[in-house]
A and B are shown apart, each in its own frame.
Chain A
Amino acid sequence: MLKNYFKIAIAVLKRRKFFTFISLFGISFTLTILMVLTAFIDKVVNDNYPDRKRDRSLYINSMELRGPNAMNGGALSFYFLDHYARSLKIPVKVGISSGPNSTNTYINNKKIAINYKYTNADYWEITDYDFVEGKAFSRQQIANGDHVAIITEDTRNQYFGDETSVVGKYIEADNVQYRVNGVVKNVPITLYMLYSDIYLPYTASKSDQNANKGYSGGYTGILLADSKSDLPRMRKEYEEMVSRLPIPGKEWNRIYSHADSFITGYVRTGNEESSGMVYAITAISLFALLVMLLPTLNLVNINITRIMERSSEIGVRKAFGASSRALVYQFLVENLILTILGGLIGILLSWIVLQILNSAHLIPNLTLSLNPTVLFIALLICLVFGLLSGVYPAWRMSRLHVVNALKA
């Protein structure tokens, strides 16, 4: 029976080539958008370079002070993380890093815009950057406030050109000369907590990072647990610590800060009362729905037109024993064949688009790819699409009265 439906489906597609083109274009275009989005989300969520201990880490990205008439939120001070977060008993390490700061550097009269980031020693023991050359700062170098730097491959190529080894050479950032200690593989900018072009010891900063004794500043923290099972306790310990913090001024009455899993920390919107996960999922779902809605409606219309053209066939099938359910099933199968065809074209288009995006370097160091997760989601989207756009026309078709269908 499926073979029969397949033959009919292909024959119907060949009958009105323009309609078929519109349908396939709509499906493949929609799928391409959704797959590029999925590839992006997959990269952000699943690509754990250089953050391979993510499953036993919690991330502290922000703190919010709230009062009856005021609110102040943002990243944390180095002092807060080094003093308060480090006082916790469960974390075995506390990595501290600043947000990326922009600066310009000049080499051979060429201006290069780079981002630099301050880190502590634990940061390099928690993360797993791939060093193509050299190594991370030592604790001693940080304690000494040595002007050493870890740079990315791209920064090396931009600054040093074709030189094969740059460890021990000097690079200028923010008008200061740093000696290159190591070169690491690039980190995509989407991993905003860990991204930078140059990594510097926090002690090399022009200002004393411990001078700011307040809670707010420009740093984020990573708490590393001994094992995954310690995460809930570590989270609780942090929250209890936050609840005991002295309120820093009369205008405030609450302090919010969380030690989150990677994804929760990533999507936290700044409203510390609730996780941003609901917003993120809602936003993505709404986007997917909107992107799918127009082509689905379009396909519904086209399908209804096609069904009306096939009234005679429907009448004959019904006359010879097809129940409404059998006809709905037939039509859904035909529609799924169409959407799977569109899906295959969409996968090809997605691959092409991803190649173009990767080579255009629109997002620094972000290389997107189609992997089994993305392909599986694509297939799922195809099935949903096929069902959504096929159900109503199939239902309409099954309701056609046999006599009227035969007369049409």
Chain B
Amino acid sequence: MIQLKDIQKVYRTDSIETLALSSISLDIAKGEFLSVMGPSGCGKSTLLNIMGLLDEPTGGKITIDEQTTEHLSDRQLAQFRNKKLGFIFQSYHLINDLKVLDNVELPLLYRNASAKERRQLAAAALEKVGLSNRVKHFPTQLSGGQKQRVAIARAIVGQPEIILADEPTGNLDSAMGNEIMDILLHLNKTESATIVMVTHDEHMAKKTHRLVRLFDGSQVQ
């Protein structure tokens, strides 16, 4: 589903060059639930951003669902992300000025779906994460776990084939973290979603199919 070949990422300033990723090669199968672990600053989030086409590698090649991405324009990349990818962030990144339902609808705004379709799909996504009773709330009225569930609903509303989660339980206590993890496992099992999760939590990582470790930008496991 996702193929990374010799991915390299170098950050350059006027005086310093930082090698964030060094020759990472990875194949992720369809329906696989992969964890990425490593100490802070090892390049986990950078890897996830590159997989999610949010950042460009300095070298190497990415193939997602048999399509290479290096020649895609900004608009094409946006359309690709919209169709194929869903994102879950550690800080949720919900829009506080919009109600829960409007937040979940967000990816569908860029698909030319009708308002009715958007509402229906958003409501269905919220039901999957158990938040149907919160559609008219604002994010500021929700707990951390509820916010992350809204973020998951947003990530899956467009039925993407790949979900990229950057420390989805990082800001939650263990109980809420387990709830979130259960939702992700359920999605992976029932909908065959390919999930790549960056985590610091060994316990969460063990529940996934495979674990990849990074250290100083290189893959060590």
> Could you list which residues of chain A lie within 8 angstroms of chain B, going by C-beta atoms?
1, 3-4, 7-8, 11-12, 15, 312-313, 315-326, 401-403, 406
Shortest C-beta distance, B123 to chain A (Å), equals: 16
* Pair A320/B81 contact, Cβ less than 8 Å: yes
* Pair B106/A316 contact, Cβ less than 8 Å: yes
* Pair A321/B75 contact, Cβ less than 8 Å: no
Cα of A312 to Cα of B55 in the assembled complex, Å: 16
* Pair B95/A8 contact, Cβ less than 8 Å: yes
A1 neighbours in B (Cβ, 8 Å): 109
* Pair B98/A11 contact, Cβ less than 8 Å: yes
Q: Chain B residue with minimal CB distance to A11?
A: B97
Of B89, B98, B154, which contacts A406 at CB under 8 A?
B89
* Pair A320/B49 contact, Cβ less than 8 Å: no
Q: Chain A residue with minimal CB distance to B54?
A: A402
Chief secondary structure at chain A's binding surface: helix
Q: A323-B74, A324-B74 are in contact. Are A403 and B55 (CB under 8 A)?
A: yes
Q: Chain A residue with minimal CB distance to B109?
A: A1
Q: A321-B78, A403-B55 are in contact. Are A8 and B97 (CB under 8 A)?
A: yes
Q: Chain A residue with minimal CB distance to B76?
A: A323
How many residues of chain B are within 8 Å of chain A by beta carbon? 29
Q: A319-B81, A321-B79 are in contact. Are A312 and B93 (CB under 8 A)?
A: yes
Of B55, B105, B154, which contacts A4 at CB under 8 A?
B105
B93 neighbours in A (Cβ, 8 Å): 312-313, 315-316, 406
Q: A3-B115, A8-B97 are in contact. Are A322 and B110 (CB under 8 A)?
A: yes
B109 neighbours in A (Cβ, 8 Å): 1, 4, 322
* Pair A319/B79 contact, Cβ less than 8 Å: no
* Pair B78/A323 contact, Cβ less than 8 Å: yes
Query: Which 10 pairs of residues, A with B, have the shortest CB-CB distance?
Result: A321-B82, A11-B97, A321-B110, A320-B107, A323-B78, A402-B54, A323-B75, A316-B93, A319-B87, A403-B55
* Pair B110/A15 contact, Cβ less than 8 Å: no
Of A3, A318, A403, A406, which contacts B78 at CB under 8 A?
A318
* Pair A324/B98 contact, Cβ less than 8 Å: no
* Pair A7/B107 contact, Cβ less than 8 Å: no
Cα of A324 to Cα of B74 in the assembled complex, Å: 8
* Pair B110/A324 contact, Cβ less than 8 Å: no
A403 neighbours in B (Cβ, 8 Å): 49, 54-55
* Pair A7/B98 contact, Cβ less than 8 Å: yes
A406 neighbours in B (Cβ, 8 Å): 54, 89, 93
Identify 15 new A-B residue pairs, CB closer than 8 A, beyond the known A313-B93, A320-B82, A321-B107.
Answer: A4-B102, A7-B98, A8-B98, A315-B93, A319-B87, A320-B107, A321-B81, A321-B82, A321-B111, A323-B75, A323-B79, A324-B75, A402-B55, A403-B54, A403-B55
Cα of A317 to Cα of B98 in the assembled complex, Å: 13
- Interface flags, B71-90, vs A, CB<8A=1, else 0: 00011001101110011010
Cα of A312 to Cα of B139 in the assembled complex, Å: 14
Q: Does B145 contact A (CB under 8 A)?
A: no
A4 neighbours in B (Cβ, 8 Å): 98, 102, 105, 109
Shortest C-beta distance, A395 to chain B (Å), equals: 13
Q: Does B52 contact A (CB under 8 A)?
A: yes
Cα of A351 to Cα of B194 in the assembled complex, Å: 62
B55 neighbours in A (Cβ, 8 Å): 401-403
* Pair A15/B106 contact, Cβ less than 8 Å: no
Cα of A15 to Cα of B79 in the assembled complex, Å: 31
Shortest C-beta distance, B9 to chain A (Å), equals: 11
CB<8 Å pairs between A and B, sample of 5: A11-B98, A321-B82, A322-B110, A323-B78, A324-B74
* Pair B110/A326 contact, Cβ less than 8 Å: yes
Cα of A316 to Cα of B106 in the assembled complex, Å: 9
Q: Chain B residue with minimal CB distance to A1?
A: B109
Of B81, B95, B111, which contacts A313 at CB under 8 A?
B95
Q: Chain B residue with minimal CB distance to A399?
A: B74
Cα of A11 to Cα of B96 in the assembled complex, Å: 9
* Pair B102/A7 contact, Cβ less than 8 Å: yes
Query: Which of A316, A324, A406: most chain B Cβ within 10 A?
Result: A316
